[in-house]
Amino acid sequence: MKEFIETTTKSILNKYKEVDSWFQCRYSFNPYRGCQHGCSYCDGRSKKYWPKGGNETFDSKIEIKINAAELLAKKLPTIKEKEVICVGGGVTDVYQPAEHKYGITRKCLQVILNKGFPCHILTKSDLVLRDLDLLKKLSAKNFCAVTFSFSTTDDKLSNVLEHGATRPSRRLAAMNELNKQGIITGACLMPVVPFITDSDELLDKSILDLSNNGANYVMHSPMTLCDDQEKFFMEFLAENFSENLQDLKEKYKYLYRYGYSPDKDYTKRLGERVRALLRNHGMREKMPKFRPKTQDEMQMSLV
């Protein structure tokens, strides 16, 4: 059973010291805390993001920041430079099933549109298509990009790794539709899960699927393993990969022997393999940088 806990928050917008190199944003916010997608590898379970712990409740007790749009409407007029706002930050999904009921993300997008800010949306859900009307207005007025997150585009494997998330095939279809509608679209192949989604066959399939469905860019990085996140992932392996459990545990112990990230050689080789596939399909590694539209460009977008 999923439990929704309605809360009010005192602040909503996070500001970074510098523009984020991945997502081209200066600000971000999350209208929810916890995530119904329950992905096995999510670093949102780590103490860095979930200080009190809560692997047992991370995907079942979802905090709803019911005053998020109201706070956003008060905060944005105080910001002089209209830089990119990331709608979602990777530790929750702004289009998780709770959004069907509460619609807080849509309310926040309307505020962003009204205040004239550019935005970048990160999600694993095709529910983003519901807000296509707003995305088109945001894109015409300033800048709007949607990045879909994947660990793999294989539906069967995804159902094991991220059972609560929208199937990759549906995410791909949503990406394709947004691209056809003129919205900047791309993907995060994040994380690539060592020994599970990092085979040549699966990487090639993922990049090909993304290329065929309108991805303009594919950002990528391997899985991290940290405190409570690691504990949950190891329990996940025991339940779903019991036949190879001991071998996998030994491989992970060695690969993450220096800390929460894989050793540098693995990361380097993975990056080289993904970049070679991207070159083969004519895709870039990073999303385009935000550039404010001129008045003429805005008029052309609205025609």
Quickly list DSSP for 233-263.
HHHHHHHH-GGGHHHHHHHHHHHTTTSSS--
Label the pairing between strands 61-65 and 14-15.
unpaired
- Give the pLDDT score at 252: 98
Pairing of strands 144-150, 184-192: parallel
The torsion defined by the Cα of 88, 92, 93 and 98, in degrees rounded to 10, comes to: -120
Per-residue pLDDT, 299: 47
User: What residue segments make up the domains of the chain, in order of their start?
Assistant: 3-298
Structural fold of domain 3-298:
TIM Barrel (3.20.20)
- Mean pLDDT in each 10-residue stretch from start to end of the chain (303 residues)? 92 92 92 95 89 81 97 96 90 96 98 97 98 97 96 98 97 98 96 98 98 97 95 96 96 96 97 97 91 58 46
Strand 85-87 with 61-65, pairing? unpaired
The pLDDT of residue 89 is 79
pLDDT of residue 297: 54
Q: What is the pLDDT of residue 21?
A: 85
The Cα–Cα gap between 59 and 255 comes to 27
* Residue 182 near residue 155 (C-beta atoms within 8 A): no
The three-state secondary structure class of 211 is: helix
pLDDT of the residue at 31: 96
Please say whether the beta carbons of 62 and 2 come within 8 A. yes
pTM metric for this prediction: 0.94
